[in-house]
Amino acid sequence: MHNASFRLDPAFTIAPVSRRTFGTFVEHMGRCVYTGIYEPTHPTADADGFRQDVLELTRELGVSVVRYPGGNFVSGYRWEDGIGPVADRPVRRDLAWHSLETNEVGIDEFMRWAGKAGVEVMYALNLGTRGVQEALDVQEYLNHPDRTRLAEMRRANGADEPYGVTMFCLGNELDGPWQTGHKTAHEYGRLAAETARALRAAEPWLELVAVGSSGSSMPTFATWESEVLELTYDQIDYISAHAYYEPIDGDLGSFLASAVDMDHFINSVVATADSVGARLKSRKRLKISFDEWNVWYLRRFQAVQETEWNIAPRVIEDSYNVADAVVVGSLLISLLRHSDRVPAACQAQLVNVIAPIRTEPGGPAWRQTIFHPFAITARLARGDVLRVEPAAPLYPTDRFGDVPVVDAVATHDPESGEVTVFVVNRSQDSAASLAVPLAGFAWSLQVAEAWTLHDDDLEATNTADAPDRVTPSTLDEVSVVDGELRATLAPVSWSAIRMTPVR
């Protein structure tokens, strides 16, 4: 058995827990929208055509913010196609995913869905094939109260009050050659800066996200950020980051250590942004919007591409197993650990497309394995993120060198006194004994609830026929003894332990 430990002290905080950490992503891609969130003929559909079973699962997941409408899709999107009478809306080709978009769901429909789900909308603008004027038009339609042409158009379409969207993405992945409207860093930086200035002239308080690298493996990574930020630094609030992880050639050890790469990615973007800020003699500290992240079996997707122009084809509907869920839990640990610089993140995507929720047309909706660590973390992470430095044995990986067997983060709510530990055991063959001294707290703590996600069959998945094959179970071997949290963590497991003050 491996031995791991770390100390907790409420004085050593990183940042408050940001609710935007628990964001997700709805893109007009595959079946995320059509037969995902929207299916008017479904038995659970409400008067607006939205699946209430999916709405209930979205609320249970704890989603706080949803990025919309893309993704790669947005770089060819004409937002005007999705407003007004549905019968008059055009069907368009979507070059990003080689499919047909009916525009049956547009801005007004999605904003109604977001209101029902109780989530904030992070709106992505098309800076691939469009630019400043389109961005201003969308902002006016969404946010201007009345009297202007687009505000009155929104009111005529049923939304008398402005939607009040505050966070806008200035395009998507424009560093990628696959992106419609792909640009050099200089071309994009100029366009993003001009768009940001125009948007701030309309609403100075908007929060704006510039496009960062599509991944740390991009050949232009860091140089892209540096050049873009030289042109946009004073106009924006965030730089985006995207990362997807999958096991490569059966290398489970490296896959389980994916959060090591996420940590390095975040630290590299922060260092680059701070370097630009120093050169510009700015006191502003840019933040990161990690608005696409997840496990994605990308190599499977690249081997099977759409050749027909279909409506809502089945695209990258990955079925997630136990190991995938443990990795998702560990990536959430990384995001929380960087809450001081990463206060916004979106798991891509919400339904069907590499998603925690799956549906069948006319049939059930169910939770994938990765649903559970997200939902539990979103529910239990409260207050401040505490600085945690785990001491644990190392194990070798092919991709990341030697990495700790155990990784963890903790949160502390000063109002309730509650403390929650989120921890992952990456070992494939050994349990881990965790010891966490709690002497830094002025009160005694007791375990209120403890959950673990673990299964002897790492390939086990949830399906429509067996939707609860993999679920969190109670972590039994956990207690607070003599002011120390003690727990035994199964191999390849993710766990959450909530402690409350002894009254």
How far apart are alpha carbons 195 and 432 in whole angstroms? 51
Give, in degrees to the nearest 5, the angle at Cα 247 between 385 and 370: 50
Query: How many Å separate Cα 234 from the centre of its chain?
Result: 25
SS3 32: coil
Q: Are 404 and 28 in contact (CB under 8 A)?
A: no
Q: 80-109 burial by CB neighbour count: b if 16+ within 10 A, else e?
A: bbbbeeeeebeebebbbbebbbbbbbbbbb
Number of H helices, E strands in the chain: 11, 26
Tokens 């940042």 belong to 15
How far is the CA of 64 from the CAs of 23, 337, 355, 362, 383, in angstroms? 5, 18, 16, 27, 16
Of 266, 428, 289, give the one whose Cα is nearest residue 338: 266
Three-state secondary structure of 319-348: CCEHHHHHHHHHHHHHHHHCCCCCCEEEEE
The secondary structure of residue 125, as a DSSP letter, is P
The dihedral formed by the CA atoms of 179, 185, 190 and 191, expressed in degrees to the nearest 10: 10
Q: Is residue 191 a contact partner of residue 368, using CB atoms and an 8 Å limit?
A: no
What does the H/E/C string look like for 404-426?
A: ECEEEEEEECCCCCCEEEEEEEC
Calculate the dihedral angle through the C-alpha atoms of 83, 140, 19, 109, rounding to the nearest 10 degrees.
-10
Nearest by Cα to 490 from 400, 423, 420, 403 = 423
Within 8 A by CB and 6+ apart from 279, the residues are 230
DSSP state of 227: H
**What is the number of other CB atoms lying within 10 angstroms of the CB of residue 226?**
16
Find the length of the chain.
503
Give the angle 336-342-346 at the CA atoms, nearest 5°: 85
Catalytic residues: 173, 292
How far apart, in Å, are the Cα atoms of 282 and each of 170, 224, 229, 400?
Answer: 21, 19, 12, 34
